[in-house]
Each structure stands twice: as structure tokens, then as C-alpha cells.
Amino acid sequence: MILDAAAELVEREGIWQLTMERIAKHAEISKSLIYKYFDSTHELLRELLERELSHLRRTQFAAAEEAETFEELVRGITKTYLGNIAKKGLLIERLQADPALSQTRDPTAFDRDVAVDYLAKIVNRNFDIPMDTARAVTDISFGVPSAAGAYLLRHKVDKAELEEITVSMIIGSINGIRDDYMIRKRKLKR
């Protein structure tokens, strides 16, 4: 209830004006009740960020596990992310933008390495791309759905169409690495 109230305020107004008083008023509880669970606004926001990242990663992993093709995998992860953005706005991005939260620990690292390794192994096996390169491509491609989510909120665009574009960009970049980059880096056969 407390984290939900804080999330609604962050989604609507951002984090800069957030106080325990405003959260308590929005949640219709006493400020002392919030302090029973959280010592500071910073601690509350850090817990909110961890909750949101954990939920997002779990739902993306579930979508990936259901996939039977690489396209279904990319589509499932992308659809989950864009659905989260459509529902909650840029909540995670707003929380990650707070320097105080970022100094505590790298919020983008929340299970990111695990997700990157999981997906990089799939890219390595299915596209015959060396693991180091597959890991780099996978990690960099994490930025594409994020950019698509920001675009979704700034422009009136059909979410399904944006999903198609995002999936094409991710798969196209992996195909480009396999078909262009890897070929250009091969030793010449004379």
C-alpha cells in the first residue's frame, strides 16, 4: 500500500517533490506508519525501484521461457516491457534517474547481468556468434525497448506497431552482426 501510493505519485509527478507527508496523505495513512517501515524517502524509493525491477525481470523471464522461436522470445520480452511502460509510465526510469538512488548501487544492474547472460547464450547458440560478441550485442540491445518505451509515452503511436518496429530492430541488429560484422572480421582465405 505504501509503495503503491509512492509509485502513483512518482508516475504522475516525478520524484523531486516526493515527501513522506505526501505519500501518507495519498495512501490515507499516518506518516508515522510509513516511518515504521522506512527510515527515509530515499530508502522507500530504493525499495520501490527494487520491487519494480524485480517484477519486470520476472515477467520478462516468464515471457522468454514460453518462447519457441527467437522472434517469440524477443517479442515476449518487448511486449512485456512496453506493456509495463503503457501501464506505469516511466516509473523505473524516473527512479533510476535519481542520483541518490544511483549512488546506492547501480539500479540498471538489478538482475541485468543474469538476463544478459541468459539471452547471450541463446544468441550464441542460434546465430553462431562468439559468446563475447553475443554478450555485447545483447547488453546493448537492452536499450532498444527502453527507447521504444520513451517514444510510446511521447507520441501517439500504436503499441503493437511500435512492438513490431522494436522487434525488427533487435533481430535486425543481431542478423547484422552475424551477416556483416562477423564476416568483415574473418581472416582472409587466400
Place of cell 552482426: 177
pLDDT in tens, 7-64: 999 988 888 889 999 999 999 999 999 999 999 999 999 999 889 988 988 999 999 9
Q: What is the pTM of this model?
A: 0.80
pLDDT in tens, 1-21: 999 999 999 988 888 889 999
- 17 CB-side CA count, 13 A: 7
* Domain boundaries 54-184, CATH class: mainly alpha
- 110 CB-side CA count, 13 A: 21
Look at residue 89 and give its three-state secondary structure. coil
Task: Identify the band that residue 99 occupies on the pLDDT scale cut at 50, 70 and 90.
Answer: confident
